[in-house]
Structure 1
Amino acid sequence: MVRPPLDTTVPFVPVVLGGELATYTLARAFHAELDVRTTVISRTVPSAVRGSAIIDNVQLPGMDDDEQLLAGLSDIADANPGARVLVLGTVDTWVTRIAALRDRLDERFAIPYPPLPLIERLSDKEGFAALCAEVGVAHPVTRAIPADAAEADLGDLLEGLRWPLVVKAGDSSFSTLVYEGKKKVAYCDDLASLVELRRTMTTAGYAGSLVVQERIPGGDEQMRVLTTYSDLSGTVRWGRLGHVLLEDHDPAMIGNPLAVISGASFTAVGEATRMLEHVGWTGYANFDIKVDPRDGTEYFFELNPRLGRSHAYLSAAGHPIVAPMVREHVEDRDPYDGVEVGPETDDWLYSIVPVPLLARYVTDPATRRRLAAIRSTGRVVRPLRYDADPGRDRRLAQLKNDVRYVRNFATHYRRPVTA
């Protein structure tokens, strides 16, 4: 759904840290919704933003150092006198950095994230599980294995859980480790396999806790993604559910949604609202949810303190995603003043993977029919294809993306799993 760009009352510059695919789709949203260019700060020149006509890319090899990052942000503000600088991240690492540096940025900067302690509490898998229990939201049965727990005590710590179990690192330091066979999310069929996994992670240098959950049955098509926006008073103003058709199965990226169509739920937004308003959350939140095929229960898995990696499923259906942040954090207006969201049931497909590849993995007959109907109308959005940003580099970026996913699925996930 295409609308003319909205007007803004305050000059501003959106700055996005990183260079991932989601960085480009966020810049694309700023251009489509507000007709502004985005400045991307990255260590090198990522293919996702290379050659873009809507992005100014600032290379900052030392951006992992706080002083260098602050200096880089200050340079951008100095080059744009009279403008606010809206600082954003598309992965948790950058969001946490931005929130941590908030007090060292002056009034020229706008930071659309909650306080750092709240981000850390809810981004932590144990903290999120505790919040779900506190407010009575469905969450997979979860246990924590402390970093200092003796190997001989693991059986007692997991007493009562039903195997197989889902095992995740409880500490964000895991993301920086490199070792053979590393998986973002692991599945253990018995205690022996869990012990072996823990030994492997420890040998690689991981010193944090493990989060262990009972596995909810069902394949990728049982997954949902929910995005909400809370204003500065802590009131949830808006939320939309996406029905995931396919997830990433590369061990390093497993679980990330790759194809999303609009979804519907009678309870998900309400449950998220109870959690977020209970803790006073502000800004965007992104939830991973799985629907239990046995009884329809919607289990909340985790919260990301930002727009999700596949946030363009919202843009595809005509939901402005950057305008509310600009209205509230840059212009000091109501986030939805003059911002019209799209219809909840509008059928669009957002697919990071090539659509023919996606169609091979959709197994539910009703979903296959819906996907075919969407394809026949041409209501398909690809992440790196944008009419206002043509050029050889952009076509090449999309081609490289597609080839990579064809190879990854041939390697890691040759046939769909529905159980």
Structure 2
Amino acid sequence: MPAHVSTVPFVPVVLGGELASYTLARAFHAEFGVRTTVVSRTVPSAVRGSAIIDNVRVPQMDDDDVLLAALARIADAHPGHRLLLLGTVDVWVGRIAGLRDRLDERIAVPYPPLPLIEQLSDKEGFAAACQQVGIAHPVTRFLPDQAPETDVAGLVEDLRWPLVAKAADSVSFSTLVYEGKQKVAYCDDLDSLIALRRTMSGAGYAGALVVQERIPGGDEQMRVLTTYSDRSGRVRWGRLGQVLLEDHDPAMIGNPLAVMHGASSTALAEITRLLEQVGWTGYANFDLKVDPRDGTEYFFELNPRLGRSHAYLHAAGHPLAAPLVREYVEGRDPFDDVDPGPETDDWLYSIVPVPLLMRYVTDKENRARLATIRKGGRVIRPLRYSVDSGAERRVAQLKSDALYARNFATHYRRPVTS
């Protein structure tokens, strides 16, 4: 039986179709027993054949007018219902926030204003906000696109090599196509940094490049933090995840693939100061890394949404859908009759097969926790859901497992811990 009931009939509508679209639909079904409508250009494998999803194909959904017409048709098909419009990647969240004033009253948007999203989703803007409120952030320099190559050495002269380099504008970067594209690049010297900048510029990237000192440590030093702020801007809830393994495919590098519930005495309090100062509302997701030298938690970036690995919260018993429905559909307090869930570390969310994961977990304490969780069967896999177990779903999980086995054999044969 669903854990919650809404006083207002509603339909979750998710733009995209990525794996996170499916796990979000799964959360809505588990918590409210409702089907989710996923709007996508094609029929993504992550949602194909699902018994809990209605997939609406809109090949031209990049056109605002086409997308708005499609949303109106969905609303017309559900008279008396509110549509809760969501995105699982930054580009869709930005589109939704930008179209807010053109949506009718039947559609609820649980995101902050677009200018605030753009300010804090931009890596330069987030770094500035961290500095303003005194939150630890890696030593960072920004290489403006208009800065001549002769200035690059001076802009990074006080940083210690090797450096981490990435696009400041992740939305623009996501559309680039070039050989050897990497979401995050590691540069050992000035020549490699300049070469990367030339390649990205040649592919059409016109934004700044973020260059940071690399915090030592492997995947297990990473953490993921999710927060929920109500419409008054007050942070009401937050939970930390202990990352065990990240993606090492160059196009997806850094995305968490396996997460246990974690704990921190400082991370939530630190980021609460920032979020409440700027007046953030709804969900926010943060990547951070613990420096093994002194335990400092360095925040890397803000995602204006639930993260790709948000199912770690669902696995640990934390409601994801209920706060959104209470506040944006029903107009109530987000945690009215909603238990935020236990603080526990006895669950694992893993996109990769657990035997593959075990090869890469090197920390003794993490291995012990993982063994206990595995023995107790407390493991959530993203595409395995008892009420959605048709043949296509089983095939989708098998294909996903095979893909990750091949990717790790190609890109990351042995764990890196330094």
1:63 to 58, 61, 64: 61
Q: Distance in 1 between matches of 2:341 and 2:333?
A: 18
With the length of structure 1 as denominator, give the TM-score of the two structures. Answer: 0.99
The residue that corresponds to 1:165 in the other structure is 163
Q: Kindly indicate whether residue 7 of structure 2 is the aligned counterpart of residue 9 of structure 1.
A: yes
The equivalent of 1:36 in structure 2 is 34
Question: Shift in Å at residue 366 of structure 1?
Answer: 1.1
Instruction: Summarize deviations over 1:204-250 as a string: whole Å, max 9, x none.
Output: 22222101111000000000000000000000000000000000000
Question: Is 2:148 the counterpart of 1:128?
Answer: no
Give the match for residue 244 of structure 1. 243
Counterpart-to-counterpart distance in 2, 1:204 and 1:58: 32
| Aligned position for 2:299 | 300
Q: Where in structure 2 are there 5+ consecutive unaligned residues? A: none
Pairing 1:202–2:201 present? yes
**What's the CA shift string for 1:89-134, capped at 9, x where partnerless?**
0000000000000000011110000000000000000000000000
Give, as a single letter, the amino acid of the residue that structure 2 aligns with 1:116: L
Match of 1:282 in 2: 281
Deviations 1:176-223 (A, max 9, x none): 111111100001111111011111112222222101111000000000
* Aligned length in residues: 417
Equivalent position SS for 1:56: strand
Structure 1 counterpart of 2:407: 408
Counterpart check, 1:150 vs 2:148: yes
Give runs of aligned pairs for residues 358-377 of structure 1, distance below 5 A: 358-377=357-376
State the shift of 1:175 in Å: 1.1
SS class of match (1:196): helix
Match of 1:396, as an amino acid? V
State the match for 2:332 in structure 1. 333
Residue type at the aligned position of 2:117: I
Kindly state the Cα deviation for residue 272 of structure 1 after the two structures are TM-superposed. Answer: 1.0
Corresponding position: 1:390 with 2:385: no
Q: Distance in 2 between matches of 1:346 and 1:78?
A: 43
Q: Report if the CA contact (8 A) 2:46-2:396 is conserved.
A: yes
RMSD between superposed Cα atoms in Å:
0.8
Partner SS state of residue 361, structure 1: coil
Deviations 1:40-70 (A, max 9, x none): 0011111111111100110100101100000
Counterpart for residue 136 of structure 2? 138
Partner Cα separation in structure 2 for residue 150 and residue 188 of structure 1:
19
Tell me if the contact between 2:2 and 2:29 (Cα under 8 Å) persists in the aligned partners.
Answer: no
Q: Which amino acid aligns with 1:36?
A: V
Q: Distance in 1 between matches of 2:91 and 2:16?
A: 10
Amino acid at match of 2:401: D
Shift of 1:341: 2.2
- 1:305-327: CA deviations, max 9, x gaps? 00000000000011000110000
**Does structure 1 retain, via aligned residues, the 8 Å contact 2:222–2:287?**
yes
% of aligned pairs identical?
77
- Superposition deviation, residue 78 in structure 1: 0.8
Maintained 8 Å contact 2:237/2:340: no
Give, in angstroms, the shift of residue 170 of structure 1. Answer: 1.5
Q: Which residue of structure 2 lines up, in the alignment, with residue 91 of structure 1?
A: 89
In structure 2, the residue matched to 1:253 is: 252
Counterpart of 1:406 in 2: which secondary structure?
A: helix
Q: 1:52 maps to which residue?
A: 50
| 1:70-96 Cα distance to aligned partner (Å, 9 max, x none) | 000000111111111000000000000
CA distance in structure 2 between the partners assigned to 1:412 and 1:16 by the alignment: 31
Structure 2 CA distance for aligned equivalents of residues 260 and 83 of structure 1? 35
Give how far 1:390 is off.
Answer: 1.3
Give 3-state SS (helix, strand or coil) of 2:359's partner.
Answer: helix
Give the Cα–Cα distance (whole angstroms) in 2 for the partners of residues 206 and 334 of structure 1.
42
The AA in structure 1 aligned to 2:103 is L
Amino acid in structure 1 at the alignment position of 2:146: D
| Residue of structure 2 in register with 1:316 after alignment | 315
Whether the 8 Å CA contact 2:117–2:304 is kept in 1: the answer is yes
Amino acid corresponding to residue 382 of structure 1 in structure 2: R
> Structure 1 regions of 5+ residues with no counterpart?
none
Structure 2 counterpart of 1:367, which letter? Answer: N
Cα drift, residue 5 of structure 1: 2.4
**Residue 161 of structure 2 aligns to which amino acid in structure 1?**
W
1:26 equivalent in structure 2: 24
Residue 212, structure 1, aligned to residue 211, structure 2: yes
3-state SS of paired residue (1:80): coil
Give me the whole-angstrom Cα distance separating, in 1, the residues matched to 2:173 and 2:283: 25
Q: Which deviations, in whole Å up to 9, do the C-alpha atoms of 1:356-395 show, x marking residues without a partner?
A: 0000000011111111011000000000000011110100
